[in-house]
Structure 1
Amino acid sequence: MRIGLLADLHANREALEACLKALARAGCTQYVFLGDLVGYGADPGWVVDTVRAHVEAGAVAVQGNHDAAIEDPGASRMHGQAQAAIEWTRAQLDPSQRAFLRDLPLQVRHEDRLYVHANAWDPPGWGYIGNPLAAHRSLSATTQWLTFCGHVHDPALYFTGAVPGEAAHFQPLYGVPIPLLPSRRWLAIVGACGQPRDGNPAAACAWLDTARRQLAFLRVPYDHERAAARIRAAGLPDALAQRLIDGG
């Protein structure tokens, strides 16, 4: 089975549509959404409805800090632009859409995998995994063989087993399947579908082949100019539109 993995959709319809098509072409039949469905972008209602339809069909979705902030403004500290986007987003969603975001689980364990937005050591604290030390802390907090996260918008892969007590960082090549050795434990940050921040405006996602134990990171070009124009048309901060153009 191939599982499509998407994180940090951030209400970006154009990016989500492109990634779902790319993952379907790659043979994915199941999907996991790793949080932050909303925030920053101009299409929160469409994105929530799309993810909800996938969940009703068997997909997994977890809650991100932007999702939590819709019902609980104190759930996560945010800078002014992010907070402005949350306040705008809250007014765009109907009660059922808000309830869907509110009721998303913070983490899901399935077979040998953990799905969580931020980290395994304190999911509601929203701490970032930005280096091998933080990755090792997260891996130490779960017994699962493979952890998938979002939150950090740059794709990354960490593993244990090479050096005792430490996590090593591996920089993946896009589109190249990576064999995940059973003798190691792994943590993958799949990158941001809706708001990349590594200088590459192409949307990020990934797929996992559970039979072959292979993971591939993808970059998917999409009409980021259109997505940026929709942000500006909605009256959201211009910097949020420019970030899509610049990829960061």
Structure 2
Amino acid sequence: MASVRLLLLSDIHANGVALQAVMKDAWTRKFDRVISLGDALGYGPRPREVLDTLRDLDATCILGNHEDMMLRLIHHPEVRGEGIVAQALEWQHGQLSKRDISELHQWTDGVDDPLVGARYRHGTPTSLDDYSDSVTSARDIFANWHGRLGFVGHTHVPGVYATLNAPVGEWIKYQAFQDGGSYMVPPAARVILNPGSVGQPRDGNPQASYAIFDTARHNFQVYRIAYDIAQTQAQIQAAGLPDVLGARLSIGK
């Protein structure tokens, strides 16, 4: 395997302030490639700014469920959704350029990367919108996917599910990274690695979350970065988006 440092971003959710803070930190740590694991859009007040940043980074962009909903909104505007998700996406649609929309159509539901030996997908290695959010779900995923490295998002919670060889077959172990931390992938393990959410963390820590994976060291490092939450909240209010989208940022839920 070639030595590569992957910058892993997920669930940015149009939070430009959080993404700026993450990138300011990430540039000090060095990386070779950028992978956005879906849901760059949805919820937040700066969709074009986020897409511009990902474009400038030449990021590999994976389709998330919010992008999937955005594409359905673009192609079927007569089918109006309900709730805050639909409200945010409709507003964001009006902010996007023709170039943004054209490039959004090129995002794929999962990518297999032979250079790294990994699969990138939003929900699980086998699904766009299922969740890798429990030992039970991880056991089912590992039973239906036989790869070694899977990078996912969707839960907004940074963590690792890993297989461990045992007399009765594979056991599943979980490790969370609420305050950041490092994980060395064991040589024989199969793993599902989640960098958490840049723009809307949901593990009780409101700090933005991202990760770097070093293929030479087999190391997955999660970083938690403080950002100006009040600025994003003010942008949400100015955009006329639901107040709850700003309030939840303060508590990381």
TM-score, structure 2 normalization: 0.89
Contact 2:158/2:178 (<8 A) preserved: no
Give the distance between the partners of 2:173 and 2:206, measured in 1 at CA: 27
Equivalent residue for 1:156, pick from 156, 159, 163? 159
Q: How far, CA to CA, are the matches of 1:165 and 1:175 in structure 2?
A: 27
**Alpha carbons of structure 1 residues 17 and 101: separation in structure 2 relative to 1, 3 Å:** same
Question: In structure 2, what is the Cα distance between the partners aligned to 1:52 and 1:220?
Answer: 22
Task: Map residues 192-231 of structure 1 onto 2, 5 A cutoff.
Answer: 192-231=197-236
RMSD of aligned C-alpha atoms?
A: 1.8
Aligned match of 2:249: 244
Query: For residue 69 of structure 1, what is the amino acid of its counterpart?
Result: M
- Matching residue of 2:127: 122
Q: Equivalent residue of 1:161, what SS?
A: strand
Instruction: Judge conservation of contact 1:139–1:147 (CA < 8 Å) in 2.
Output: no
| 2:36 counterpart residue number | 33
SS at 2:249 equivalent: helix
Runs of 4+ with >6 A deviation: none
Code of the residue aligned with 1:135 in structure 2: it is A
| Aligned mates of 2:71, 2:210 — CA distance in 1 | 27
1:134 Cα shift? 1.2
Change (3 A) 1:24 1:141: farther
* Match in the other structure for 1:94: 97
Return the alpha-carbon distance in structure 2 between the equivalents of residues 102 and 133 of structure 1: 33
User: 1:173 & 1:242 partners in 2: Cα distance?
Assistant: 20
Shift of 1:162: 4.1
The residue correspondences of 1:111-190 to structure 2 (distance < 5 A) are: 111=114, 112-123=117-128, 126-163=129-166, 164-172=169-177, 174-190=179-195
* TM-score computed with the length of structure 1 as normaliser: 0.91
CA shift, 1:165, in A, is 4.0
Within a 5 Å distance, the mapping from 1:45-124 to structure 2 comes to: 45-55=48-58, 59-73=59-73, 80-111=83-114, 112-123=117-128
CA–CA distance in 2 between the matches of 1:146 and 1:205?
17
Q: What letter corresponds to residue 227 of structure 1 in structure 2?
A: T
Contact 1:158 1:168 in 2 (8 A): yes
Query: Percent of aligned pairs with the same residue?
Result: 33
Indicate conservation of the 8 Å contact 1:5/1:205, yes or no: yes
Give the partner amino acid of 1:61.
Answer: C
Q: Distance in 2 between matches of 1:25 and 1:138?
A: 35
Partners of 1:39 and 1:202 lie apart in 2 by: 19
1:67 counterpart letter in structure 2: E
